[in-house]
Amino acid sequence: MSFLSLFMQATEQVTPFGLLTKLSGKLASAPLGGMTQLLIRSFIKSYHINLEECANQDLSSYKTFNDFFVRKLKPDARPIAENCAAILPCDGTIGQVGDILHGRLIQAKGIDYSLRALLGGDQRDCDHFESGGFCTIYLSPSNYHRVHMPLEGTLLKTIHIPGRHFPVGPRNISNLPSLYTDNERLVCLFGTEIGQFAVVFVAAALVGGIHTSWSGTIENRNKLKIDYYDPDQFHYQRGDEIGYFNYGSTVICLWGENAAELEEELGAGLGVQMGQEMLL
């Protein structure tokens, strides 16, 4: 391991990202009047946000910074690909794509991590994805932060895994080997026509919370929590919204062996949008 990697790990361990995340979450969700408007306008300018695609372009109607950060888009802003097995669930940048081999996923060049650790430790959940594939998508602050259903499916189970809130930018991905399995995450398992499909929300530094369409914002917990769902109650169509992040983070999609072929143009570093083809 390089000196830089060791130094970053030591630095990240002593930085109070959990406290910073809580404080930033409270600030971002507070109605601050003129200060809120100043923050939103500064954010738009700094990150070159395209207001033309926003469903609500009246900035004065956003009472908190988070209201704007999780803004909805116009219905036609993200066309949904139909002639494919699954679409990309969110805007962002591809971190890695590839095969799940011997229970390991690639995080960065020379770094991989455990499927079992990612999903919370139950080998029965892992068995659905062994020898399958994965796609990791990093959401920067400039991206649209709502997450949508990649294909038609029924929610079967969620696993909330408490953890740290390390930043998930490219520098940390390359230097913190257990980044995705150390950070807080919510594993969502769906039954679909191509077998079980997982959408994993990975929290990060300054993320005010992971929010789902079926249970709202996930509460802070100290222990792993598993919830099972009635398959007749939570059925989603391709492109339906299933949640959002209150700040930048990562979504990891998992599918089983021989379920479908990955879109060949997808690769590390590629900027993508929700609705584009992911699996053929």
Is the separation of the CB atoms in 128 and 156 below 8 Å? no
Please write the tens of the pLDDT for every residue from 9-49. Answer: 433 444 444 444 455 556 677 888 898 999 999 999 999 99
> How much is the average pLDDT of 155-177?
79
- Give dist(CA 94, CA 61) in Å, integer: 33
Closest of 275, 231, 278, 219 to residue 73, by C-alpha: 275
Residue of higher predicted confidence among 163 and 196: 196
CA-to-CA dists, residue 260 to 199, 264, 277, 280, angstroms: 16, 12, 12, 6
Sign for the pseudo-dihedral over CA of 54, 59, 60, 64: positive
The residue to which tokens 């959401």 are assigned? 139
Is the separation of the CB atoms in 111 and 66 below 8 Å? no
Indicate the pTM of the whole model: 0.89
CA angle at 207 for the pair 48 and 26, rounded to the nearest 5°: 100
Residue 206 has pLDDT above 60, yes or no: no
Active-site amino acid positions? 91, 148, 249
- Classified as helix, coil or strand, 167 is coil
- Give dist(CA 82, CA 248) in Å, integer: 28
Is the separation of the CB atoms in 185 and 200 below 8 Å? yes
